[in-house]
Amino acid sequence: MKRVHWLAILAGLVLAIGLVCTAQAADPLPAEIRDSIAEMQILKTAYWDSPGSTWFVFARTPYGANMLLCFVQEGGSWVRSFYTVDAVPQGEDVINYLFITDKVIDFRDNQTRVIPGPILALSETSGCRTSYRRDDAGQWKLYDAFWLKEQMSLDFSDDGIVFRSPIDQDHDRVETVHGRFERDLRKVDYDAIPRTPQQARETPGTP
């Protein structure tokens, strides 16, 4: 299936956000999870129930760091699968939305498209976005990013990164940087994600 990149579907993601928020309203964060992070300030949550029940919590720790936590259900109990501070932006009021979806609206033809594997997206108050797709092995891998200041959309794969920036209303400038970039949500460093092709080429591991 042809990948639909961020610049074409930002409005469509608003619909996806609404669908997820509706599900969250019917499924509040379980008390078991809330109690396990009682010392933290819970800022945003996202839930995915099929296949595999998963909660993501974006929270602020007592020492002022933003943290993303992942909980999965095992044997009827909620277990913390992993957490990360490095993969998320730091500071106050940095996230507008945290949501999981497998559907977007492509406004080029007004069609709903199903994305293979659920995608976790973090929409920032700055207008930037990062998203992670859960692969067949159950790992959440960096999938897309959008940097507002640079007007740059990024598509990630095991082979490298495709950068797209608008030339005009109907045309994008496309540049591919081949190499091995860290994509595992548990290990990603948000500040190290390239903003431009030049930054990507300067990353260790690129040809």
Closest CA to 183 of 145, 153, 143: 143
What six digits make up the tokens of 130? 């990062």
Is the pLDDT reported for residue 16 higher than 70? no
What six digits make up the tokens of 77? 């109990």
The answer to whether residue 180 is domain-embedded is: no
Cα(207)–Cα(201) distance, integer angstroms: 8
The residue segments making up the domain with residue 53 are 6-148
The answer to whether residue 161 is domain-embedded is: no
Cα(110)–Cα(81) distance, integer angstroms: 37
The answer to whether residue 164 is domain-embedded is: no
Query: Angle at Cα 188 formed by Cα 174 and Cα 43, nearest 5°?
Result: 105
Cα(53)–Cα(103) distance, integer angstroms: 18
The answer to whether residue 174 is domain-embedded is: no
Worst-scoring range by mean pLDDT, 11-20, 25-34, 39-48, 129-138? Answer: 11-20
> What's the structural domain count of the chain?
1
Tens of pLDDT, residues 62-82: 999 999 999 999 988 999 999
Instruction: Say if CB 135 and CB 157 are below 8 A apart.
Output: no
The whole-number pLDDT of residue 3 equals 45
